[in-house]
Amino acid sequence: LQGSGETITYNSSGQALGRVARGLPAAAGKDLANPTALIMSAVMMLDHLGERAAARRIEDAVAAVLWQGVRTRDLGGSAGTREYTDAICRELEGTMPKVRA
C-alpha cells in the first residue's frame, strides 16, 4: 500500500519523522481528502518503533476497505474522508483483542 506519498525521514541522531510528502490544503474541512498517505505514514512510524503487529493490523484494515470497494473520490469511489476512515476503524475494531473491564 505504500507509494501514496508517505515517507519517514531520519536526522543524524537516528530520530524519525513520519510525514506525508504532499497534501491538499484546499480540501481541508470538506470531507474530500484521501487520508491513506497519512495513515500509512503512521504505519511506517509504528514499524520504526517496533510495533509491527499494530502496523500490520492497520495496513490490513486499509487493504480490506479498499478491497471492499470503499474508496475516496480520487481513487474512483464516492466515499468522503469520514466514510473511508470510519470503514477502516470498523475493520480495526474487528481485529482488536477484547479487553475485560
Per-residue model confidence as pLDDT tens for the chain (101 residues) = 544 566 667 778 877 776 666 666 776 778 888 999 889 989 999 998 999 999 999 999 999 999 999 999 999 999 999 999 999 999 999 876 666 66
Residue 19, classed as helix, strand or coil, is: strand
Cβ distance 57 to 92 under 8 Å?
yes
Does residue 60 lie in a domain region? yes
Task: Provide the pLDDT for residue 3.
Answer: 46
In terms of residue numbers, what domain contains 51? 6-93
Cβ distance 40 to 89 under 8 Å?
no
Does residue 101 lie in a domain region? no
Does residue 37 lie in a domain region? yes
pTM: 0.77
Does residue 1 lie in a domain region? no
User: In the beta sheet, which residues pair with residue 8?
Assistant: 18
Q: How far apart are alpha carbons 19 and 5 in whole angstroms?
A: 9
When divided into structural domains, the chain yields a total of 1
Does residue 100 lie in a domain region? no
